[in-house]
Amino acid sequence: MTEVPAPPVQRTAVVTGAGRGIGAAVAARLAADGHRVAVLDLREEDTAGTVEAINNSGGKAVGVGADVSDADAVDAAVARITEELGAPTILVNNAGILRDNLLFKMTETDWDAVMGVHLRGAFLMSRAVQVHQVREKWGRIVNLSSTSALGNRGQANYSAAKAGLQGFTKTLAIELGRYNVTVNAIAPGLIETDMTRSTAERMGVAYEDFMARAAADIPVGRTGKPADIAAAASFFVREEASFVSGQVLYVAGGPRG
């Protein structure tokens, strides 16, 4: 007989950079999967739309404002989430910024800002949440990398940060596996978000033309949507994914990596 999977257990999830775009889609998907969700972004007011959409759909979400590159702010945010929603055992490190430029034009400030949000932010959030995961003997961490980890012109800072997240993912998978905590990464290709729109504007290309050109080079013939990334995150945090850890999944409409 085919074994029927047990119904999903409701847990508390934290999604950073969840005010819009990929983070908002991931938060909504995890709420639809039955989890309580902390919607975290730099300013709490930026989380209002995501929180309202989840709560109006019958889910449970709270908005939290915090700079993920600030250790004190992270610890305070995780403490608040624990008090309001319960111990967080699911973490999606999605917060990110762009400060694109060619190397000879890139400032130290732009380099440090990108490293601070992507790498330091993932480190601080993971360090704070793993305390609860280890105590509960269950946890899921999903880090958002990018196809830019393979190299991309004008993104030395972003590419280095996203490649670093892949090494961070594999190392945490080794360290935390004994506590029934899995750690995986998603590397999106071109996804239709406000960040992508800003990239097109920076390049002086109409957004529609930018996306059409990109789609022509993607084997499945389309660009990605935030829901595509949310579906991958939903898989990684499931009970059934307990034997999948230390992996980088390229969600890019074709082979990468």
Neighbouring residues of 121: CB distance < 8 A, sequence distance ≥ 6: 16, 68, 69, 74, 93, 95
Cα separation, 138 vs 179, in Å, equals 7
- Cα 239 to Cα 7, 139, 227: the distances in Å are 10, 10, 20
Residue 187: its H or E element: strand 181-188
**Closest Cα partner for 93 from 144, 19, 133?**
144
14: which strand partners? 38, 91
Tokens 């360090």, residue located: 127
**Closest Cα partner for 37 from 94, 69, 74, 84?**
84
Six-digit token pair at 203?
């390049």
**Closest Cα partner for 31 from 7, 9, 55?**
55
Neighbouring residues of 38: CB distance < 8 A, sequence distance ≥ 6: 12, 13, 14, 15, 61, 62, 63, 64, 77, 81, 84, 85, 88
Q: Which of 158, 179, 207, 250 is catalytic?
A: 158
Cα separation, 58 vs 64, in Å, equals 19
- How many other C-beta atoms lie within 10 A of the C-beta of residue 233? 29
Residue 207 is among the residues annotated as catalytic for this protein: no
The catalytic residues are 158
